[in-house]
Amino acid sequence: MIDNQKPARSVQETTPQRRYYRLQIRAWTGFDPSKMELTDIANEIDRGTAFLTAVEVSKVVDDVNGIDDPEVRKSFETILAAERILQNVGDLPKAIRERLAAALSGDDKAARGGVAA
């Protein structure tokens, strides 16, 4: 019997090597940024109502496991997992592809494996 299955690829083979950088950013603003989203602050910098004065790299790690903030590490792990799925979406069983499509379209019930309304 001939085995036509693809050899299994390890997570390391499917995940590109990345470096992660912890930044310290200093700026002066002409407004109170304490309740603003970062994108809004960046837009204000573009408008000239704030000035970025320094960007300092305080830590560099070569692997997501080197990130010492559990919430940030989990966020990056989630993104990496999603990228692996997208790279191999054709290899997923049809039912899983359908659930993934439902989740991406916002159909929560179908994404959980239920029947769409």
pLDDT above 80 for 46? yes
Tens-digit pLDDT profile for residues 49-92: 999 999 999 999 999 999 999 999 999 999 999 898 888 888 88
Tens-digit pLDDT profile for residues 5-44: 555 554 445 556 789 999 999 999 999 999 999 999 999 9
pLDDT at 110: 65
Spatial CB neighbours of 101, under 8 Å, sequence gap ≥ 6? none
DSSP per residue, 27-85: EEESS--TTS-HHHHHHHHHHTSEEEEEEEEEEEESSGGG---HHHHHHHHHHHHHHHH
pLDDT at 86: 87
- In the chain, where are the structural domains located? 16-62, 66-112
pLDDT at 117: 47
Q: Are 29 and 68 in contact (CB under 8 A)?
A: no
Q: Shortest CA distance to 28 belongs to which of 17, 44, 7?
A: 44
Q: Shortest CA distance to 85 belongs to which of 70, 74, 97, 76?
A: 97
Q: Which tokens sit at 25? A: 């950013």
